[in-house]
Structure formats: structure tokens, C-alpha cells
Structure 1
């Protein structure tokens, strides 16, 4: 999964320009800069930082390695996706953990970070990729099919808002966020749905429940009766299985937001 024509070079692995600049806070509190090309002759550890929990342990490893290999460097790449609700707050928190740690940081680049995130996100900590951040929704594999093709199944060509039926065809041309979930992201999505909807009347969220055959009938009833302010695709286990097959072609199904 990691192979590219130039993965032997750091810029090839990152997909960056060799003259892109990294920075770090030195022990004296000042800021230093270096280009990626300047690290070519050094041993570099690439730290893909999703949550930051590994920072204290990695710092101990780094200190031990530096006693044997003074040219050893760590380059941190921000991955503000996962359980992150606000990418900016995430980066501020990570930077606060690095105040006394002299590692190089790659300035946040969404395309670089998201590409690396996709390479490692098949089995994140909780077993699912969760992308509740409206600033950077996941581009799932099957999105080339279009939201209309994904939502229409057999004779079912509508979605629900409360008890009202809305034809899927009416969603054409709108900004759609397909919300694929086991009902884990409900509270997080609710916090910003109304705010975005007020700013963009053409914005719609369509909830599609992923099939979980381990749930009980009681849990099913609770899930299906949960009040939702957005559009809901009527649950059909065969439709759910079809969506999972079309979208998650290279990974197990996970909670996700997919933009159309």
C-alpha cells in the first residue's frame, strides 16, 4: 500500500516537494526551519499523528535513539481526522504537547495528510474510521456512482423527513452529506448540522444506517425511532449491504460522512 516510484525518499513517501519547509521548536524556545531535501542524509522516523497519545512514549524512544544515532530525526504529520471535531483545536493541542520536544513538523496539508490517513485507517483504534469533521469529509471508494444511484434501491426511490416522503431525485444538484453510521456519530453531527443548514439552504444530510446483524430487535427499534432533523433513508438490510459493498471496497465498513 505504501509503494510509490520514490518511497525511498521522504518527499516521495509524503508526496511533497523536496523544497517544502518543516519547522520545530528548539529547546531554547526558538523556531527552526529545514527543507525536506536537507533531511536526505539523516535517519528519519515518520510519525503519523492521529491522536497524540503516543507522543510521550515516542519521545523516550527518540531520546534513546539520539544517544546512539545523533543524526536521527522525527517528522510529525498531522492527521486531524478520526475522532477530531475541530481540526484547528486538534493542531493546537498537538503543538502544546511538542513545546519541549524537538521534532520536525510538516505544516498541515490536507491532501498529504488525507492520503496518508487512508493508508493507515483500515483498522484505527476503535476499529472504524470516524470522520465527523465537516471541513474534511472522507472520499469513499464508491462515490463515483453518485448519491442518486446509491440511495435508490429497487422500488424505494425516496427518503424521509419525519413522516414525509421526499423523492431522491429532488436531491440532485444539492450539497449532500451521506451519513453512514451505526448510530455512533449522532450527537456529534447534531452539534453543527443546524448551523450549516442555516448558512446553506441547499445543504442536506441523508442518514443511511449500516447493517449490523449483531443488534437485537429492541436495539433495532430504538435506532429506527431515534429523532433526526435530517433526511433518513428507510432501512433495508439488503440495501445497506449493497451500499457497504459499493463504497467500502478495500476496508471493513465504518462510520463515515461522504460528500456529494
Structure 2
């Protein structure tokens, strides 16, 4: 998709009678100031929690590029409810914005670039040609290193990333600044003592309700696996904190019976970026040789509980085939007591996919009941039926 014709991006950001953008302090900055710069068009809103999380990440990248004197600018396109909400949210941003009052400009930009969800960040080169539509993912993944966001630069970073993952070991992942150990509630353990085990890296935080809920489930599964003689020494979990301070980290770790990385913000941030973790809780599974098996440990635990162990492709394929066979007995549609519309059975291959269950608030993958009218989604096990209809044909 191209942003504009020969005149570049600037005409799309102006309106009759307005040839300026505004800074977070309310100053007017001429659109001509964007000439010669790589531009990030940032569609966002104060009411969206993902926008709230991503904005400071983008601000760090923006400030770093500015400090390096890179020709880069961001323009905020707001979906805020009112002027005061816009002012408050834009006040947290060090970049420019389309004035909140210019509803037509914001609407035309949203329609032109087919923005269906926020946050969305589209990158443009100095000529106004689109560089990247998935700017949010790229910023999360590579930070300021992605500048100038060209295809060649992203391919270069992807190649570096592949090389790192191919040579990945537990030691290279977890040791840093001379520290070569993890901790339990009572002692330090050398990282090398964990080699040969299946490892779950558990990214979580104290002030995260979904984390609290999933931790409880994971503790039960961990203890169950540990109680089995054949798995007792073969599986371990390591807590990687996403907490903002050490006090929250300590409170969070109290509920966990497994190991942890010591509280080190930079180490946690590096691992979050390395594994491209966009939200918590996340459970990443490493094989006994330290390579990544799956980033979908949370999905698999929710779907299969302790049967998911050891999380290999062969094991998951076996469980999926068994679940597909079981799904033949499910009704095609149901009426659920907590939803007014009929729900239809879908699989990952027939309109389903990763989802958050509207009944238990846990992630799901594979088979689900889905409302085609409003997007309500629910695990089959969470259904409380009023009535059922035709079953899937054998």
C-alpha cells in the first residue's frame, strides 16, 4: 500500500485551513518540519490497555533515536473520547499529533490505512511510501535498532535473531553480568545444573489479575508433574518478572514453588524482547538442549493441563488428534446461559484461533464456541447449556 502520490505523506496530515500538527505542550509545528524524515503514524487511544502499555515503549525508542539525531518523527492519530482525554494521553507522548478537533482528517487516515484495532503503527519513508504496516510488532521486537525500518534492515535483524536462536543455550539465555545462577526460595542454583531438563520460562507480574489466576493453575500442574517419579527431575519452571519494582517481584514470587531469576529489570526486559513477549502471563518452553520448543505454553496448559508435558510437537499432535476425535461428539451450536445469541462450534481451521474465554478469562486454542454476531468466545468445557442442536457428523 502506498501512502500518497509524489507529494508524500504531508497532504494526508493537513486539512483546509490547517497546515500544522501539535506538540504535547500545545505548540503548533508546521507539517513541513516532517520533510526528509521517516514517519511513524501512531493510531492509539487512552482507553485501550494495549495502547497504554505500548506508548512508553515507543517513547523510549523515539527518545533514543532523537538522542542519536536520527531523522525520525511520530504523529499521533487519536481515537480518544474527548478533548480532555486526548490532552491527557498526548501529554505522555514526546511526539506530534493531529489536532483532536480535526475529526475528518482522523477519519480519513483511519479509513485509508484500514485501521481496525489500536495500537497500530505504520512506518513511512521520507517520500511517504509505506515501509511497514506492523510497526508495533517491530518496535516491540527490535526497538531503535530497527531504524530506518526498511525491509532490508528488518531482514538483517531477522537473520541475526535466527542465528541467536539457533545457537541458544540455557546458559546464554539466563546468565548475565557475571551471574550464572538462578534462585529458589532458599538457595542459589547454578544454571548448568538445569541442563538436560525441559524448562518453562514463566513471564508474570504481581499486579496482573490474569497472572494471578494462571499462576494458581500452573502451580497445581507443576506439583502434579513433580509428584510423578518419571518426571520429577526432568521439568522445571523459572519465573521471569515483569514487575516494576522489587517489592512487587517478591510478593509475586511468594505464590510460586519453582525457581526464579533474581530481580534484574534489564535482564527481564532483554528476555521479553528476545522472545517477543507482548503480554503476560506467558509460558515459553525450552527443550533439554536449551532450544525453544514453543511460546504457547499457556495455551497448551489451558487446553491439556499436565498432559501437555513434555510439550513436543509429537505430544501436542497426539493430543490434538485426540481432541479432534472428541470434538465429533460436541453439538454444532449451543445456547449458553450467559449469552443471548446462539454460539457455533469452530476450530482453529474453520474460523477459530487463539482467544480469551469470556467465561473463565483464560486463553484458549483449537475448538471453541463462538458468537458470529458479536465475537463472544468460550471454551467447550465452560459451556452451561440451555439447549443443544445437531452434533457434528461422524
TM-score by length of 1: 0.39
Structure having the higher Rg? 2
- TM-score under structure 2 normalisation? 0.27
Ranked by relative contact order (alpha carbons within 8 Å, sequence separation 6 or more), the top structure is 1
